[in-house]
Amino acid sequence: MTALALVTGIVVACGVYLLLQRRLLSVILGLGLLATGANLVVFAAGGLRAVPAFIDAAGTPAAGHADPLPQALVLTAIVIGFAMMAFALALALRAYRHLGDDDLPSWRDTEPPLEAHDEHVPDPRPEESAAEPRRPSTMRLPVMPPTEDER
Amino acid sequence: MDPLLCLLLLPLLPLIAAVLQPWGGRWGATAGVVASLASVSCALVLLSADQITTWAQPWVPSLGIELRLRADAFALFMCLVVSGAGAAVTAYAGGYFAGDPGRPRVIGLLLAFQSAMLVLVLADNLWLLFVCWEVTSVLSFLLIAHDGTPAQRTAAKRALLITGGGGLALMGAFALMMAATGTATLSEFTTPLHDHPWYGWILGLALIGCATKSALFPFHFWLPGAMAAPTPVSAYLHAATMVKAGVFLLARLHPALGGSTEWQLILSVMAAFTVAFSVAAMPRCDDLKLMLAYSTLTALGIIAALLALESEQGALAAVVMILAHALYKGALFLTVGSIDHGTGTRDLRRLHGLFRYMPLTAIAGLLGAASLAGLPPWSGFIAKEQAKLAAIGVGWLTPMTLFVGGIGVTAAAVCVAYGPWHHDRRRPALPAHESPWSLTIPALALALAGLAVGLAMPWVGEHLLQPAAAAIAGESVAEVLEPFPTTPGKIVMTLVVLGVGIVLALARRRVAGWTRHLDLRLAARAWDAGMEWSLAVGRAVTRVLHSGDLRTYVSVALLAMVAAAGVGLASSQSLPRPPVDPLPFTSLPILLLVAVAAIGAASAPHRLSAIACLGAVGYGVALLFVWYGAPDLALTQVLAETLLLLLLVMAFRHLPTAFGARRDRRWWNLGLALVVGASVAYVTALAKGNQLSESIGGEIAARSLVEGFGRNVVNVILVDMRALDTLGEIVVLAIAGAGVAAMAGSGTPQDRPLARSLLLSTSLRVLLPLLALTGMFFYWRGHNAPGGGFAGGLLLASGIVLAGIALGAGVARRLLPLGDPTKREAGALRLAAAGLGLAACSGIPGMFTGGVFLTPLWGEFAGLKLGTPLLFDLGVMVLVSGVAAGVVLSLAEAEPQEPHS
């Protein structure tokens, strides 16, 4: 039990270490290790017994059987982990094709720079320019231009 | 007509007209006017009924939320104001927005607003009232920003934030009131709550809510800003109706919250500040509309001051004031809109001599101004006289407030009446023209109504105003005054106020000079500074957290996780020691293998060795599963790991070969990894010994054969007892499969084998049927022995993948059932969809036997025990095989293509 917990910790630590690397490949491998580590946490948290949870010929559960509930959770988690890895790989390939670099810090430029929002144009005070847009006396109102451009 | 039907139609008719606006075309406004007038007649029918009509319908009974309407005299009075002004403004808007493509929208919003406002005044349940309160805030936001100019957007945002924040405060007050009394029905709040320990909180929060809505000090500043809105919107929301919601609620809540010194003191001080501020600001306005907005503030302050008195006379005066103000201020706003439309300006310094160009508008304006100035026999005069009567002998603050306010609005009335209509020979005439009928008639109607109400006063007072005031004050009230001054003293008083008002209006520039050191926009600036400060804080936090670097995000998330575990441990008395069990020597080699392989994966210098190490971890974990009584997991793990390795190898073909750690942040990464690993290990070791409750695993195992007819407990859980969970999980699988197909789907079908091997392609003839049979066999025995749909599906998929490697992905795709040779992805995705459909449909038959979705059905067929869970498992197998084969083949076909930079 304690030994398994220790090994779980090692798997998770290695996964985290890989996840923090700059290389795309390392990050994906780290994700895989983390998924395995998470499965181990759930599995170990349910307690460990050597006897599988099966009903014997007499119709009663085997004596001292393992807890089946965490096992059921982990079983679907394994398959979902596989699908998640496939998704991450497809995403990584796509991103690499578009960005041409597998160095993650260089992807920083793909997000819009925060500075674009920083150029803070003070809003006009409505008290000072309370006028609503002129409605020409013919009452033919021009369609308002896109408002974002006005800033 | 049936009163109950009237009560329901009253708010419903404007809503129906609002919904019909998109198809209304040029008749939209007419429909709105008809609906509003119909609402008015509904209110009149209800008013003539002998008793109070109520209607209730449960909405969320467990929370005390009810659709409960109660049409007492005060509510019906407000309905008349709302729908009457609504009819005029809707007609006006029809002409004002002619040619504007947004006309149906703005008229629809105005009518929807009218409906919400009607429910608000009729509501007899706190939460129904609250919902309508918020709806009016949101509609106000949409209406202010109708044209979307920057000034309108700022004003709309400010109004929404303030009234929305006030709405939150009001929600707190309502929740406390409900907790304190156990009821949410407004009419049941008849006893004062002063002695309740929460009274201070309830009063404070309720006052904040009412003050924000009615623009009372210190939340007064949003109302002048909201004048950026189109004029019909200002006329309706910011003069006639919405700003009255706050004082309306004050009147409604006063039986429960009033009667205390705090109520009277806080409210009258707020009212006094509002009036003082607005009167000081008015002379500095050159914009006619802005001046009217400040005089609205004065009126709201006066109404609040009258309600603070809590006398019968005060209630009556407030009711008369609400009616008179709605009529004359609505008319004046509409007039200003016409002036703006006819001349292109609202600036008092430029306007003059418009009488001869726009006589009808001028008459409406002059009638409205006379009422605003409080001349007999207009309704404004009666409101002023009632207020004076109520203010006799109530200390000095309220009389002062009323006096200052009276002078202020009189001065404003003189400006409004004189400014645009007088003729100034020295200045050139402005180009102007009279507005169309659709603009002049509504303004005239409101202005004439203000006069008519005054002339018909004893009668209107008896049938409408006195009952309404009695509904507020809770007892019968004195009669409404005559529309003429009856004593010499009153005549003198009226003349004095009028005279001072005229003098002030003529000396407007000079008076404005006196107050030039007064910073009128202090509150607005403080608010804006607060908003900008919060935005700056948001930007600063974002700059730190949102760095664009994955490592930052991962670090923050992991540190938060460790911190959460640390807080949990720190809050326990002593640091728990994990139970130490004897070292399991037999499983030690497997554990060592997993640990060493994991470290190898983290430190491998080449990518292939890293993948190999990852595989070793996976297979080692599978061995652990075997060792610790989980054969199903072991089977699934081995199959999934094998496919995963294939996936990695195929994907890595397209990525750069360079591998290995780069040496930046090395110690940070190592430290964080060790901290996270250590805390996970510690928590895992503690977990078994610290369960909150006994595991239900034993119970499930005991019932597995009896109720689920399966000997493999894990499989029974998956396909029967927790089948809904499994259904959710296979939906996730299907989504992931579709996502991979979409992202990797740039390649073309390839019939070129990935690995040319005669041995493999020959043995495939035997291997492929064998794998397919084994997969089906896994599925079939899964309910009673290790196996099941997940393992079976993975095995089927590995057969397809093997064929893809030996013969080419295109060939493998053609092996899939349901395939379509023209569409590359179709086969695998269709297979997944079919599996999902099968699994979901297997849950339906059980519903016909009275159970819920996914209730199992079992039966004996030729000695075989068959049931819907087996169908469910079959669906799982088909889906898993489709998704797993699809993702591997997709990545196998991905073009080995150079990045384009």
User: Is the pLDDT assigned to residue B572 strictly greater than 90?
Assistant: no
Scored b (16 or more CB within 10 A) or e, B791-827 reads: bbbbbbbbbbbbbbbbbbbbbbbbbbeebeeeebbbb
Can you tell me the mean pLDDT for A108-133? 56
Cβ of A83 and B678 within 8 Å?
A: no
Share of chain B above pLDDT 90, in %: 32
User: Is the pLDDT assigned to residue B582 strictly greater than 70?
Assistant: no
C-alpha B803/C-alpha B824 separation (Å) is: 16
**Taking Cα atoms as reference points, which of B889, B811, B898 lies closest to residue B646?**
B889
Residue of B nearest to A80 (CA): B733
Can you give the pLDDT at residue A1?
59
Query: What's the angle, vertex CA B38, arms to CA B32 and CA B40, rounded to 5?
Result: 105
What integer best gives the mean pLDDT of chain B? 86
Distance, CA of B2 to chain centre: 37
| pLDDT tier, B563 (very low <50, low <70, confident <90, very high otherwise) | very high
Contact status, residue A77 vs residue A90, Cβ threshold 8 Å: no
Q: How far is B173 from chain A (nearest CA, A)?
A: 31
Q: B312-340 pLDDT, tens per residue?
A: 888 888 999 999 999 999 999 999 988 88
- The pairing of strands B65-71 and B53-60 is antiparallel
- Considering only residues B426 and B799, tell me which one the structure prediction assigns the higher pLDDT: B799
Cβ of A33 and B543 within 8 Å?
A: no
User: Is the pLDDT assigned to residue A74 strictly greater than 60?
Assistant: yes
| DSSP output for A63-93 | TTBPPHHHHHHHHHHHHHHHHHHHHHHHHHH
Distance, CA of B321 to chain centre: 34
C-alpha B584/C-alpha B795 separation (Å) is: 32
C-alpha B337/C-alpha B91 separation (Å) is: 13
Share of chain B above pLDDT 70, in %: 95
- Nearest-CB residue to B695 (from A67, A80, A137): A67
User: Is the pLDDT assigned to residue B184 strictly greater than 50?
Assistant: yes
Contact status, residue B651 vs residue A89, Cβ threshold 8 Å: yes
User: Is the pLDDT assigned to residue B576 strictly greater than 80?
Assistant: no
Q: A13-72 pLDDT, tens per residue?
A: 999 999 988 888 889 999 999 999 999 999 988 778 888 888 888 888 888 888 898 999
Can you tell me the mean pLDDT for B422-447? 83
Can you tell me the mean pLDDT for B160-179? 92
Can you give the pLDDT at residue A143?
40
User: Is the pLDDT assigned to residue B103 strictly greater than 80?
Assistant: yes
Can you give the pLDDT at residue A146?
45
The H or E element that residue B140 is part of is helix B126-144
Can you tell me the mean pLDDT for B826-850? 88
C-alpha B370/C-alpha B278 separation (Å) is: 20
| pLDDT tier, A125 (very low <50, low <70, confident <90, very high otherwise) | low
Distance, CA of A8 to chain centre: 21
- Using a CB-CB distance cutoff of 8 angstroms, which residues of chain B are in contact with residue A45? 684, 687-688
Interface pTM (ipTM) of the complex?
Answer: 0.79
User: Is the pLDDT assigned to residue B661 strictly greater than 70?
Assistant: no
Cβ of B899 and A87 within 8 Å?
A: no
Can you give the pLDDT at residue B59?
87
C-alpha B227/C-alpha B149 separation (Å) is: 13
Token couple for B835: 């599996």
Can you give the pLDDT at residue A145?
44
What pTM did the predictor assign? Answer: 0.68
- Nearest-CB residue to B601 (from A33, A75, A133): A33
Alpha-carbon radius of gyration of chain B? 39
The listed range with the strongest mean pLDDT (B347-361, B497-511, B588-602, B692-706) is B588-602
- Per DSSP, B347 falls in state B
Cβ of A14 and B665 within 8 Å?
A: no
Contact status, residue B468 vs residue B74, Cβ threshold 8 Å: yes
* Other beta carbons within 10 Å of B631: 19
| DSSP output for B44-58 | HHHHHSSS-EEEEEE
Can you give the pLDDT at residue B456?
86
- Using a CB-CB distance cutoff of 8 angstroms, which residues of chain A are in contact with residue B880? 79
Q: B186-237 pLDDT, tens per residue?
A: 888 888 888 888 888 999 999 999 999 998 888 888 888 888 888 889 889 8
Bridge partners for A61 per DSSP: A55
Can you give the pLDDT at residue A127?
53
Can you give the pLDDT at residue B76?
92
Cβ of A140 and B673 within 8 Å?
A: no
Cβ of B714 and A102 within 8 Å?
A: no
Best to test chain B binding among A75, A123, A139, A149 (most B CBs inside 10 Å): A75
- Using a CB-CB distance cutoff of 8 angstroms, which residues of chain B are in contact with residue A118? 539
Residue B249 corresponds to which amino acid?
L
- Considering only residues B560 and B758, tell me which one the structure prediction assigns the higher pLDDT: B560
Best to test chain A binding among B623, B628, B712 (most A CBs inside 10 Å): B628
Q: B489-498 pLDDT, tens per residue?
A: 788 888 888 8
Q: At what angle do helices B758-781 and B789-807 cross, to 10 degrees?
A: 170
Cβ of A17 and B230 within 8 Å?
A: no
Cβ of A130 and B287 within 8 Å?
A: yes
| pLDDT tier, B470 (very low <50, low <70, confident <90, very high otherwise) | confident
In chain A, what is the straight-line distance between the N-terminal and C-terminal CA atoms, in Å?
63
| pLDDT tier, A81 (very low <50, low <70, confident <90, very high otherwise) | very high
Count how many Cα atoms sit within 13 Å of the Cα of residue B611 in the half-sphere of its side chain: 18
Can you give the pLDDT at residue A140?
38
C-alpha A119/C-alpha A117 separation (Å) is: 6
Bridge partners for B688 per DSSP: none
C-alpha B641/C-alpha B888 separation (Å) is: 13
What integer best gives the mean pLDDT of chain A? 77
Q: How far is A144 from chain B (nearest CA, A)?
A: 7
Q: Which residue is it, tokens 């009819």? A: B87
- Per DSSP, B862 falls in state T
Q: B365-393 pLDDT, tens per residue?
A: 899 998 998 888 888 888 888 888 888 87
Can you give the pLDDT at residue B897?
55
Peptide bond into B218 cis (omega under 30): yes
Can you tell me the mean pLDDT for B44-49? 88
- Nearest-CB residue to B696 (from A22, A28, A69): A69
Sign of CA dihedral B32, B38, B41, B46: negative
Contact status, residue B310 vs residue B259, Cβ threshold 8 Å: yes
- Using a CB-CB distance cutoff of 8 angstroms, which residues of chain B are in contact with residue A25? 607, 610, 652, 655, 659
- Reduced to 3 states (helix: H, G, I; strand: E, B; else coil), residue B707 is helix
Least confident of B656-670, B696-710, B734-748: B656-670
| pLDDT tier, B135 (very low <50, low <70, confident <90, very high otherwise) | very high
| pLDDT tier, A112 (very low <50, low <70, confident <90, very high otherwise) | low
Contact status, residue B382 vs residue B480, Cβ threshold 8 Å: yes
C-alpha B78/C-alpha B467 separation (Å) is: 12
Token couple for B757: 């091997």
